Structure 1
């Protein structure tokens, strides 16, 4: 039977790692088979591309180069992780996916959304997330958390208005694709955020997984 494709999205410092860990714990308690990956990354080649994307270089990356590298890494992740996991009937948990490209390269960089859509169809075919959990937080709060983790990567060093555009595009997509998205208000206490996520899993995921896997 087909698997279930669950993606976790959000800006820097939104708590995606916390969400992923909570979801894995929930899956394990229910005896649900899952596999975990991330973007960009997830395979040896895709992780090398991730390093190119996030490291500081003496040579600037053009916005188009950044976009193409994102989809190159995604193609590897789909081939080695996502599609095999779906074929095996597992829940595939992916820390960011193509919604992030629309948010960062589309919203943040201002690249043509139609160009992103063309690459999306080329690389993914009909594969789209079954559900997306968006960890939403004010960029000021998120970046304060990110700075507290240590040195910022190349993208994390963008100006605040970049992250405001990223957040705006995420929220726009959550409205357009309301059946796919669940928005978690991630600016509150950890307990509150966890309760929101668990509520989403119990309400939307448990019954769907039971029927499909």
Structure 2
């Protein structure tokens, strides 16, 4: 089984672009990459319009389970996910759901080996929520990351990306992934805060 990596962060930080670039860069290096995007099912996409954070969490968790069930983890060197269960903890808790309840809901969900959290202000062209809400979600990511590291065997890597473009972020993820796959590039560990 290869690496299962997740890319996280508030809306508008460039996650989708980073995932696409990282997948492209990894494939250039001869690795078999499967990309996943959440939500990916009708119920997950519909839940984006719902007002109840608990119902959203249930729908997103079902979406995640159905999506990951279709992934052949054995065939890929790297499974790269645009969002993970961490999104449910951060967003739905920012909307009022209890963080511990959300954490328990995620127990049966397959967990990534590493989650990279892109920490930066949203890029203007990508922002879908108001700035105040996104700041609340950003704070919830920090709280959720602490809980996840305590409860699950998931490594969290914060990428302080205020002065980085999407290509630089993708290159950091690729370098770390290759290092983990025993193909070292000599990336300094201090670039990826753990």
TM-score (norm 1): 0.73
Residues 200 and 72 of structure 1, relative CA distance in 2, 3 Å threshold: closer
CA distance in 2, matches of 1:174, 1:114: 12
Matched, 1:75 2:68: no
1:87 corresponds in structure 2 to: 74
What's the secondary structure of 2:11's corresponding residue? Answer: coil
Matched-pair contact (CA < 8 Å) for 1:15–1:186: no
Matched-pair contact (CA < 8 Å) for 2:22–2:173: no
Alignment of 1:29-44 (within 5 A): 29-41=28-40
CA distance in 2, matches of 1:119, 1:200: 28
Q: Which residue, out of 87, 100, 106, partners 2:87?
A: 100
Matched, 1:18 2:17: yes
Deviation at 1:78, TM superposition (A): 1.6
* Structure whose alpha-carbon radius of gyration is higher: 1
Matched-pair contact (CA < 8 Å) for 1:98–1:120: yes
CA distance in 2, matches of 1:209, 1:3: 8
1:112 corresponds in structure 2 to: 98
Gaps of 5+ in 2: 184-194
Matched-pair contact (CA < 8 Å) for 1:137–1:186: yes
What's the secondary structure of 1:93's corresponding residue? Answer: strand
Deviation at 1:97, TM superposition (A): 0.7
Matched-pair contact (CA < 8 Å) for 1:174–1:183: no
CA distance in 2, matches of 1:80, 1:168: 32
Matched, 1:133 2:135: no
Deviation at 1:50, TM superposition (A): 3.2
Matched-pair contact (CA < 8 Å) for 1:19–1:197: yes
Equivalent residues, number = 179
Residues 199 and 97 of structure 1, relative CA distance in 2, 3 Å threshold: closer
Cα RMSD over matched residues? 2.4
Matched-pair contact (CA < 8 Å) for 2:38–2:84: yes
Deviation at 1:174, TM superposition (A): 4.5
CA distance in 2, matches of 1:199, 1:206: 10
Gaps of 5+ in 1: 148-155
**Structure with the bigger percentage of helix:** 1
Q: Give a deviation string over 1:109-152, Cα, whole Å, max 9, x none.
A: 13112211221113x2xx311111211112xxx163225xxxxx
What's the secondary structure of 2:70's corresponding residue? Answer: helix
2:182 corresponds in structure 1 to: 210
